[in-house]
């Protein structure tokens, strides 16, 4: 006898019913204790928008592997560059120097790779005024594409990789390391580091994100998908997919867009750090589950039926309900 498949909710419909729960969880999440475990702390050190976007690019591109390891490397580069990351990048664009970061090494990347990245950022700034202006222009040109954000990111990354001062710095070493720092979003992966950088620059300003790129709407963003976000999203029924691909990131974002059409990735920091902190561990833990404020909507936790009730103004997509963004 054929066994019928268990009926499941569609991710979009489930996000709609989860909206009040997600909204309360995100707004009540204790941000401050988690900021020191997150690379967003680096761009948050600066007030000048140019320094913010350059420090953010550096931190996002190096944010692979263990945070306690790569954060020390980001800090060392910022210290070597002096008080203004933007001025350091601009100098490297004018005077490409393969030896600008002597002794730097982090897994796949050398000091030449990082110097090339910064020189490319300085070159783009000199041509377009800011990294944000260039990305906004590329996004505008991608209107009508199947995935405008991915198209714009693909061109943005390619322009950084091919920037003349970056190629000068890497003339002897080759471009493999820079390709790792600036991966191609069109390759099919989730492009987590690129989407993380965009979240920092576009959302806010609030207690986490900086909100300096006003030419890009938060509604256009895609969630920075990693193992933590993927695990929590599956348990909440926001996706059934198990791969860390761009398609999965788009599916989760589409579900969250039901909860907040104007700002779907505002939930990312809280969901990610719920997983990072062990609050939602890879293996189900009755103790942790009992303490979780998302338990009422968690399918793995044994309930899976989110509470009913009216969604908050933010969950209905009202921009006015979000403080800190004009």
Ordered mean pLDDT values, 10 residues apiece, the chain (326 residues): 42 77 95 94 98 98 94 98 98 98 97 98 98 98 95 98 98 97 95 98 97 98 97 95 96 95 97 94 91 91 47 37 31
pLDDT at 10: 61
In DSSP terms, which residues pair with 106 in a beta bridge? 109
pLDDT at 120: 98
Kindly list the domain boundaries of the chain, sorted by start residue.
Answer: 10-33+223-317, 39-207
Q: CATH fold of 10-33+223-317, please?
A: Endonuclease Iii, domain 2 (1.10.1670)
pLDDT at 9: 52
pLDDT at 17: 85
Q: Please state the pTM of the whole predicted model.
A: 0.89
Contact status, residue 104 vs residue 97, Cβ threshold 8 Å: no
In DSSP terms, which residues pair with 245 in a beta bridge? 189
In whole angstroms, give the CA distance from residue 146 to residue 164. Answer: 30
pLDDT at 22: 95
DSSP letter at 8 equals: -
Q: What are the helix (H) ranges across 9-147?
A: 11-28, 32-35, 49-61, 67-81, 85-94, 111-128, 131-141
In whole angstroms, give the CA distance from residue 322 to residue 114. Answer: 36
Burial of 76 (0-12, 13-18, 19+ CB in 10 A): middle
pLDDT at 267: 97
pLDDT at 12: 58
Residue 222 to residues 70, 234, 277, 279, 303, Cα–Cα distance (Å): 24, 17, 23, 24, 28
pLDDT at 326: 27
Contact status, residue 256 vs residue 223, Cβ threshold 8 Å: yes
């Amino acid at each position: 006898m054929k066994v019928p498949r268990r009926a499941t909710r569609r991710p979009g419909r489930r996000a709609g019913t989860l909206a009040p729960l997600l909204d309360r969880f995100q707004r009540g999440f204790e941000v401050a204790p988690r900021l020191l475990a997150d690379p967003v702390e680096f761009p948050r050190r600066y007030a000048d928008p140019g320094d913010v976007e350059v420090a953010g690019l550096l931190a996002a591109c190096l944010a692979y592997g263990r945070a306690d390891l790569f954060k020390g490397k980001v800090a060392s580069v910022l210290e070597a560059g002096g008080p203004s990351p933007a001025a350091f990048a601009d100098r490297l664009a004018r005077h490409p120097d393969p030896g600008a970061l002597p002794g730097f090494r982090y897994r796949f990347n050398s000091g030449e790779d990082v110097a090339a990245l910064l020189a490319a950022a300085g070159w783009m700034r000199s041509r377009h005024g800011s990294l944000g202006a260039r990305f906004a222009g590329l996004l505008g040109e991608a209107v009508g594409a199947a995935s405008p954000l991915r198209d714009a990111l693909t061109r943005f990354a390619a322009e950084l990789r091919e920037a003349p001062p970056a190629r000068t710095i890497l003339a002897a070493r080759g471009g493999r390391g820079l390709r790792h720092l600036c991966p191609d979003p069109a390759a099919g992966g989730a492009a987590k580091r690129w989407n993380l950088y965009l979240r920092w620059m576009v959302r806010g300003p609030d207690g986490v994100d900086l909100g300096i790129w006003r030419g890009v709407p938060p509604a256009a963003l895609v969630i920075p998908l990693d193992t933590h976000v993927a695990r929590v999203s599956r348990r909440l029924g926001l996706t059934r997919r198990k791969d860390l691909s761009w398609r999965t990131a788009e599916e989760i974002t589409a579900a969250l867009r039901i909860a907040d059409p104007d700002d779907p990735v505002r939930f990312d920091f809280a969901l990610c750090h719920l997983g990072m902190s062990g609050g939602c561990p890879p293996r189900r833990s009755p103790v942790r589950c009992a303490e979780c404020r998302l338990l009422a909507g968690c399918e793995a936790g044994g309930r899976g039926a989110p509470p009913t009730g009216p969604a908050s103004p933010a969950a209905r997509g009202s921009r006015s309900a979000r403080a800190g963004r004009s």
